[in-house]
Amino acid sequence: MKKLNAYKTLAVEFLNALLPVEKLKIRLRVQDKLEQIDSDLSYGKLLSELGLSYIASCDSSSKLVKGKKFEFATLGLYLSPASKSGRNVCTFAGACKAPCLDQSGRVLMENRGGKSTIQVARLLKTWLHEFRIDLFTMAICHEIRKSAKLAKKKGIKFCVRLNCTSDLDFSDIIASFPSVQFYDYSKDPNRLSADHYHLTYSWDSFSKGRLPFYRQALARGQKIAFPVVKADLDRILALPSTLEMDSSDLRFLDGEGNYGILAIKETGNTAQGIKDGFMLDYESFKKAIDWIEG
């Protein structure tokens, strides 16, 4: 078995730590190590230092790869969501935390197999963003430029989603690439769309404090994305002002409709998501729309 480098060893220790004080001590060790990295380190040497193959990559999930049928290459960034890294990268997350899609797909399979390779990589990227934003920005901008150039060479279109499992403000990076199409789902009511940045607002729950945000999103012309149980998918899509969002992740290509429908994925904690009102069946979806529309 290949020996883990120092950063990955710390990430595994962090994942296995049970007490908050243990996790805090590990984070401080990570911060100290990252702060010692030379600011002039090249992209390649940075990845080698961290033991990573990339920060973001194209068509790296079953959802992003669907963009290929529309001749799009999609660069996606996956971080450690909510507060799993010790810092909250999803400030407005609520009922979505327990059944987060971070625990679906390959991560779920790894967890069931007792592995944590993907989670470790996401932790390292999240810590890099937190403790060395200069190096993180250098690396992600390098990857955007490289991926955009490769897509152009292949004769296909290109887009970027920087919040695949986070909800951070990347406006500085987005502003640096005015000719690149960016998009995100977000629960942040303060984030605004731009000419080349498409935002879809995300349903969270029936919490009264969320209602003004849903209505504000619709007033801004944003669609609201809802995760629904697969058994009720067709019935829900037959309702007015709905549109499906499963055929691709390219939200900036969506047509008419205010409410985007996504079939829920198994995350190992789906039941909790349904109980908390994050994942909806037919009746609860109708209730949500009536509530939002008043």
Phi, psi of 251 (to 5 degrees): -60, -30
Model confidence at 1: pLDDT above 50: no
Q: How many helices (H) and strands (E) does the chain have?
A: 11, 8
Q: Tell me which long-range contacts 143-146 makes (C-beta under 8 A, separation of at least 24).
A: 143/54, 143/55, 143/56, 143/57, 143/75, 144/56, 144/75, 144/173, 144/177, 144/180
pTM score, two decimals?
0.90
The alpha carbon of 191 is separated from its chain's Cα centroid by a whole number of angstroms, namely 15
Neighbours of 83 (CB within 10 A): 13
Q: 15-31, pLDDT tens digit by residue?
A: 999 999 999 999 999 99
What is the average pLDDT across 112-126?
83
Model confidence at 254: pLDDT above 90: yes
What is the average pLDDT across 232-248?
95
What is the average pLDDT across 192-218?
95
* Alpha helices, H only, the chain: 6-16, 20-35, 43-50, 105-112, 117-131, 133-154, 171-175, 211-219, 233-237, 270-275, 282-293
Phi, psi of 281 (to 5 degrees): -100, -175
Q: Which of 9-13, 91-95, 256-260 is the least confident region?
A: 91-95
